[in-house]
Chains A and B, each alone.
Chain A
Amino acid sequence: MDGLAHQLVAGIATGGIYAAVALALVMIYQATHHVNFAQGEMATFSTYIALTLIQAGLPYWVAFLATLVISFVLGVVIERVLLRPVHDAPVLTHVGIFIGLLLVFSNLSGWMFDYTVKAFPSPFEAGGPMLGGLVSGHELGSTAVTLAVLLLVFLFFRYTSLGLAMRAAAYNPVSARLVGIRVGWMLALGWGLAAAIGAVAGIMIAPVVFLEPNMMLGILLYAFAGALLGGIDNPGGAVLGGFAVGVIENLGGAYLVGTELKLTLALVIIIAVLLIKPSGLFGRVVVSRV
């Protein structure tokens, strides 16, 4: 029973990471109807930046915040420079650019910071096992941080006028433009926010899985599964989906398929959602008028 409880808690902890990446994916999806395949590699790159800053002697949380700012700027620049010009291009062009970004970032990480697997510090390690050994300090801390970030994002979109403007730009770009919202810049901000959220996920997962250029590839897959499970056009649903996938992954890995097929489990979840309930648990059913 202890084992099951521990798997559940560990699942929620990794689920928080998936939820964050899923949220980043959904934010860009809502605004542009594209899925950023490079989201994971961008997060890995941000994590390397964080490690470099920490090694340069900055205190952990200063490096953390600085990384978020750098990632945000990077996201905005990518949207402005690479995606703005092809805004109306076919899906294939977008997918191609995302794949190009994926290649550039994953290999830049390897090139600039070399391919060896690196340990990443955690600010929560000092706590040791808590709640009767049920949860490690880092699991608790990283869950708290991801939850805090998710809450901040929610509050930002719900209660600030900038958040409202961004939502308006995503839901109805034409009307938003007519009331004076700069839709293009809202998209760029969305990209920046998504990159920053991805960076949080990368920094929080790195102490667990260790830092290497392909660190986020598997995580991106789980985030896809989470986003689809919750509904790819529903941020709240995607977050819940991310947590659910984390729990499913941990329980499935422990009792069902073993660690060898964990990635395949993500593939199975994706296919199962597409077959059974394509709109996800909380998504809107899209009816297109012909």
Chain B
Amino acid sequence: MPVATAPARAESRPLVPLAILGLALLALAPTFLVEGYRLFQLTLAVIYAVAILGLNIVTGYNGQISLGHGAFYAVGAYATAIMMASFGMPYWATLPIAALICAGLGYAIGFPALRLGGLYLALTTFALAVAVPQILKYHAFEEWTGGVQGVFIAKPDAPFGLPLNADQWLYLFTTVIAVAIFLLSWNLLRSRIGRAMMAIRDQPIAAEAMGMDIARLKTRTFAVSAMITGIAGALSAIAVEFVSPDSFSVMLSITLFVGMVVGGIASILGAVFGGLFVVFVPNLAEEISKAAPGVIYGVILILFLFILPTGFAGFLRRLAGPLLRRWRDGATTNQDGR
């Protein structure tokens, strides 16, 4: 499918994996440089970055607005917690299963809403996000979910006698998985399928006329996105050692959305900034007032939409100028949510 392959892009390709490799090394360094609670916060930031990447794939790259990705995060977290607590599975073995469950759920949720415009998907997913804590508390599932109390699990120790404490191992484990997911997503979005996703976002009618199966691509994109966010949720359960219904309120979905907009819509790097933002900015703001993080979140979200609609990543890209722009794929700068 010859969809506008710019020659400049092909020449500059080898640079990008190198840059990503450098970033990956940069991401691994804190294992040994940061300690205790700070390291735990960084672990959370990495997890949120993965969750936001998942949201960005469906909302940023495919133009389907989801306000309910916290639901998939919750399902991933609960799947892992239940498998560890009730079935005694090792933490690493729960990840693929949690991923599959979330992919299936994403497919099932995305399917009905796809029949209509983006607004209806936003509505449905918003309703899902609001309903999630209630479903998790439901007494029929209490045997597994622990009802209001939630589920406690134990933090894993470093394997193979590695000289790392539990926090360090957790950060390393999370980051390696996150880097793998980022690389896979990068590949996916630069592939034929990724270009088709963006074509459907920008010009659905032309895309369909060129033979793209819009419904199939959209549902599958939604499933992939739900899967990635679900893996992030699973990782968060391991990191926090605890899941409970009230940690997955509608605020979680909104947090992911804010992180995506602030980091950069339709930008892979933006997801990293988003993750850092949602973990560290509320901490700063909380010192002002209990309610302040929410107000500041809202104000920052609106300000970004007005002043920096391409987010922090877009801002950096503009700063770095034409040199950077040449080897970064031109398609990612194009953000159009329609």
Interface residues of A (CB under 8 A from B): 33-35, 37, 82, 85-86, 90-93, 95-97, 99-108, 110-111, 115, 217-218, 221, 224-225, 228, 260-264, 266-267, 270-271, 274-275, 278, 290
Contacts and interface: CB of A to CB of B under 8 A. Distances in A.
A267 B127 contact: yes
Contacts of B337: 90-93, 95
Contacts of B261: 96
Contacts of A104: 294-295, 298-299, 302
A231 B118 CA distance: 17
Interface stretch (B83-91, B227-235, B269-277, B285-293): B285-293
Interface residues of B, number: 50
Interface in B192-242: 205
Contact of A99 (B257, B292, B299): B257
Contacts of B250: 217
A244 to B, nearest CB: 17
Nearest to B253: A99
The 10 closest A-B pairs by CB, nearest first: A92-B337, A107-B294, A103-B298, A111-B291, A104-B298, A90-B337, A100-B301, A100-B302, A110-B291, A107-B291
Given A96-B261, A101-B302, A264-B134, 19 more contacts: A37-B67, A86-B306, A90-B337, A91-B122, A92-B59, A92-B335, A93-B337, A95-B337, A99-B254, A100-B298, A103-B301, A104-B298, A107-B293, A107-B297, A110-B290, A221-B127, A267-B131, A271-B124, A275-B115
15 contacts: A85-B306, A91-B65, A95-B337, A97-B301, A99-B257, A100-B298, A104-B302, A111-B290, A115-B291, A224-B127, A260-B137, A260-B138, A261-B138, A274-B115, A275-B115
A99 B67 contact: yes
B301 A99 contact: yes
B124 A102 contact: no
A23 B126 CA distance: 19
A107 B137 contact: no
Contacts of B137: 260
A33 B258 CA distance: 22
Given A93-B337, A261-B138, A264-B135, A111 B289 contact: yes
Contact of B292 (A93, A111, A267): A111
Contact of B309 (A93, A102, A218, A225): A93
Interface in B243-272: 250, 254, 257-258, 261, 265
A50 B336 CA distance: 40
A100 B294 CA distance: 9
B119 interface: yes
Nearest to B208: A290
Contact of A107 (B112, B298, B335): B298
Contacts of B290: 110-111, 115
B86 to A, nearest CB: 22
B45 interface: no
A90 B135 contact: no
Contact of A274 (B120, B130, B298): B120
A290 B309 CA distance: 29
A86 B291 contact: no
Nearest to B120: A274
Contacts of A218: 130
Contacts of B124: 267, 270-271, 274
Interface in B98-144: 112-113, 115-116, 118-120, 122-124, 126-128, 130-131, 134-135, 137-139
Given A37-B126, A97-B305, A218-B130, A91 B299 contact: no
Interface centre among A91, A101, A110 (most CB of B within 10 A): A91
B123 A270 contact: yes
Interface centre among B128, B130, B290 (most CB of A within 10 A): B130
Interface centre among A33, A93, A103, A107 (most CB of B within 10 A): A103
A64 to B, nearest CB: 26
A255 B263 CA distance: 46
B338 interface: yes
Interface string B60-81: 0001010100000000000000
Contacts of B123: 35, 224, 228, 270
Nearest to B114: A274
B298 A217 contact: no
A91 B338 contact: yes
